[in-house]
Every structure is written in structure tokens, then in C-alpha cells.
A = this chain, B = another copy of it.
């Protein structure tokens, strides 16, 4: 984007009806279409500014809290990069993975870390029924803190992956699609296959496939969700996606065949996840610290997985897609057959061909996160961005 394009995009943003100020970004389906689009606008503008050498730094000081209750490399770096780009210093909150805080502790910690804090990024995807709940509890505590005059301002909470959604991933994925296909409007009528794929590992969260169907269904796409019997997602999210698909002028098919999903697809997203049932059973075992029970569950689950080794994104399967050239997507790291494991989600030659695409896909995440923060913190984001253009401060040199 050149400066004129940046300015035009700021005008577009100005005309959107959004109410994201002092709100958190937890689930894409809680956001209006205008708010989704505004997030893409801001992400594009921030990247445009940086590419043009103009510093998008809006804070001269300020803290961004990074609360990872599960391992992460790429989201951690995306979050740090986003915060640093805006001028925020990232302070880790290490609560320990296993500990689930409740009530008083959450309320207190949320306030104690927020006196000079602008944003709080939280990854909490280990326990079904807990991650999203925890993020809302933090948000509520912050609201109370502001209302009581304890906090000078409301930090914005960004969901860096919960048990339900992974909005920084799905939004980055779709900004990638918008750029790949020449605009969000081009997604209408495109067929996307969100399918389970075989992996030798176990217990991968449901939030990525849920995030994808929950967002794809906003753009009038033809969605096929495919997985072996028993590998369900959270039923409410599937129902919601069906409803949204219909409302946006698209469609939603739910099948048990990878081939059927790939047939004529414009986009394929083959990715392993653990069955909903297993994730449910895991929660009390994790809570109880029942290592033997967890081991048994893992064993049973892996044995079941093994029945579906043919759920692999092979060259053969790719041939079923539209023109044999569907865009392959993955949140990375992928389980690549004969590379990262003996048998995995994707054939090495397929992955090789799309590697740069998946890297490009990932490259949007820092900007998406920065956009979420900016929109949560400023009532008039267009004005703030216009101010950056006008200020015209060099990022480098």
C-alpha cells in the first residue's frame, strides 16, 4: 500500500459502525461484520505504515501482559511483535500451566497487573469449558476495577487461543485469504474444506477448526466440515456456524469423508484435533492430576486415531480440489509425513508447494493482534491512524 491507499483505507474504516472500544476480542462471532472488517482494515493499515517506513507506535510507554497458560512460540512472538510495534512493553505473567485460578484470585491478579497496562493477551486452551470462562472473568474484573476507580483505564483482553475460538489465528488466516483472492468479497461462493487430518500426536485443541468455521461462515462461503465419526467439535459452535453460513448467503455441509470435502474445494485446511468427547473426559482427569487415567485416555485415543491414517492431505487428494489447485492452509506446525513424523496430516510434496503460502498466512498474525489492541483501546481508531500518517515518524534510522 502506498500512502494514498493507506489514507483511502482509513476513510473506509471511518465509515464502519463499530463498538469495540473498551471491549475484549474473545470470539469472532461476538463481533459484527463491520467490526471484523474494521479489524482487517486496521491490520492492513498498520502493515502498510510499517512497510512504508512510518512508525505505527502509538504509546510512548505502557505495559502489555502476556499470559500463556500453554506453550507457544509463534503466537508469543506475534503478540510481542504487535505490542512492540505499538510501543508497549511485554511483561509475562507466569501463573504455571496447571493452576486454574478462580474468583478472588482472578479478580485480584487482573487488577494488580493492570495499573499501567493497555492490553492483556491470554492463551488458555488446555481445559474445555475453562479457557473462555477465565478470559471473561478477567474482563469482568477489569470492568469492576475501572468502575471502582481502581484502574485508570480498561486494558483490552485479546484471546490468544481459548477452548472455543482462536481468533488471532482465524482472522490472520482470512486476511491471508483476502489478499490471496483479491478481497474479502471474492470469498463469497468459494468452497472451503475444514477437515480433520491424521496425526500421531494427541489432544490438539478444537479452537482452530472451530475458529475457521465460525469465521468462514461470515463471508458467504460454502463450508464443508469433515472428520471421522466421533471427532466432533463443540456442537454449539457447529450449529452457530451453520446458522451464520445461511445468513451470509453461503452453505454448510458436515461430512465424514475427507474426499468429499476436498471435491472441488478452493481452499483446504487439513488439521488434526482431539475428539470433543475425549476433551470432555480429559478435564476431570487433568483437574484430579490423574496421570494414569490420562495415559489410558491417550492410549485409547491414539489407537482410535490410527484407524484414520488415510486422512492425509496427499497429492491424490489435492487432485480432487478445484483445478487440482486448492489453496492449502495450516496454522503450523504441520505434521508432515516423512518429515516431522512417519505418517501425518500432509504429504511432504504438498506441504513443500505451499510452504511459503503458510508462512505468508502466519505473517498477518502480528498485525491482526495489533489491530485488536488498537480497536479495543481507542474510540476513534481512524483518527489515531490518520494521526500516525500525519506525524510521519520514521520507524528506522
Query: A residues touching B (Cβ–Cβ < 8 Å)?
Result: 50-51, 55-63, 65, 73-74, 76-78, 80-81, 84-87, 89-91, 93, 103-105, 108-109, 111-113, 115-117, 145, 148-152, 332-333, 336, 339-340, 356, 359-360, 362-363, 365-366, 378, 384, 387, 393-397
Select which of B84, B104, B151, B333 is within 8 A of A62 by beta carbon.
Answer: B84
Which of A73, A105, A393 has the most CB atoms of chain B within a 10 A radius of its CB?
A73
Q: Are B77 and A113 closer than 8 Å at their CB atoms?
A: yes
Known: A57-B61, A77-B112. 16 other contacts (CB 8 A): A50-B116, A59-B396, A60-B393, A60-B395, A61-B87, A63-B77, A63-B80, A84-B89, A89-B90, A103-B339, A105-B333, A108-B332, A108-B333, A112-B332, A115-B362, A115-B363
Closest 5 interchain pairs by CB?
A: A81-B116, A55-B60, A84-B89, A150-B359, A148-B356
Q: How many copies does the complex hold?
A: 3
Q: Are A112 and B336 closer than 8 Å at their CB atoms?
A: no
7 cross-chain CB contacts under 8 A: A60-B394, A60-B396, A74-B112, A76-B91, A89-B90, A116-B366, A150-B363
Give A123 Cβ to nearest chain B Cβ, in Å: 15
Write out the residue numbers on chain B whose beta carbons fall within 8 Å of the beta carbon of A365.
115
Give A78 Cβ to nearest chain B Cβ, in Å: 8
Write out the residue numbers on chain B whose beta carbons fall within 8 Å of the beta carbon of A332.
108, 112
Write out the residue numbers on chain B whose beta carbons fall within 8 Å of the beta carbon of A65.
77
Alpha-carbon separation in the docked complex, A339 to B148 (Å): 21
Which of A109, A116, A365 has the most CB atoms of chain B within a 10 A radius of its CB?
A116
Q: Are B89 and A63 closer than 8 Å at their CB atoms?
A: no
Write out the residue numbers on chain B whose beta carbons fall within 8 Å of the beta carbon of A51.
152
Write out the residue numbers on chain B whose beta carbons fall within 8 Å of the beta carbon of A56.
61
Alpha-carbon separation in the docked complex, A148 to B77 (Å): 21
Q: Are A115 and B63 closer than 8 Å at their CB atoms?
A: no
Select which of B58, B150, B152 is within 8 A of A356 by beta carbon.
Answer: B150
Select which of B149, B362, B394 is within 8 A of A112 by beta carbon.
Answer: B362
Alpha-carbon separation in the docked complex, A241 to B336 (Å): 44
Q: Are B115 and A396 closer than 8 Å at their CB atoms?
A: no
Q: Are B80 and A91 closer than 8 Å at their CB atoms?
A: yes
Alpha-carbon separation in the docked complex, A291 to B15 (Å): 65
Select which of B57, B104, B112, B397 is within 8 A of A384 by beta carbon.
Answer: B397
Q: Are B397 and A58 closer than 8 Å at their CB atoms?
A: yes
Q: Are B109 and A73 closer than 8 Å at their CB atoms?
A: yes
Write out the residue numbers on chain B whose beta carbons fall within 8 Å of the beta carbon of A396.
58-60, 62
Write out the residue numbers on chain B whose beta carbons fall within 8 Å of the beta carbon of A60.
55, 57, 393-396
Q: Are A116 and B85 closer than 8 Å at their CB atoms?
A: yes
Give A141 Cβ to nearest chain B Cβ, in Å: 10
Nearest-CB residue, chain B, relative to A79: B91
Alpha-carbon separation in the docked complex, A93 to B333 (Å): 16
Alpha-carbon separation in the docked complex, A89 to B57 (Å): 13
Q: Are A340 and B91 closer than 8 Å at their CB atoms?
A: no
Give A333 Cβ to nearest chain B Cβ, in Å: 6
Alpha-carbon separation in the docked complex, A93 to B80 (Å): 12
Nearest-CB residue, chain B, relative to A95: B73
Alpha-carbon separation in the docked complex, A73 to B91 (Å): 11
Alpha-carbon separation in the docked complex, A84 to B62 (Å): 7
Q: Are B105 and A91 closer than 8 Å at their CB atoms?
A: no
Q: Are A111 and B359 closer than 8 Å at their CB atoms?
A: yes
Alpha-carbon separation in the docked complex, A333 to B365 (Å): 36
Given A73-B93, A116-B366, A150-B363, A84 and B63 contact (CB-CB distance below 8 Å): yes
Write out the residue numbers on chain B whose beta carbons fall within 8 Å of the beta carbon of A115.
77-78, 81, 362-363, 365-366
Alpha-carbon separation in the docked complex, A340 to B111 (Å): 17
Nearest-CB residue, chain B, relative to A340: B104
Give A40 Cβ to nearest chain B Cβ, in Å: 17
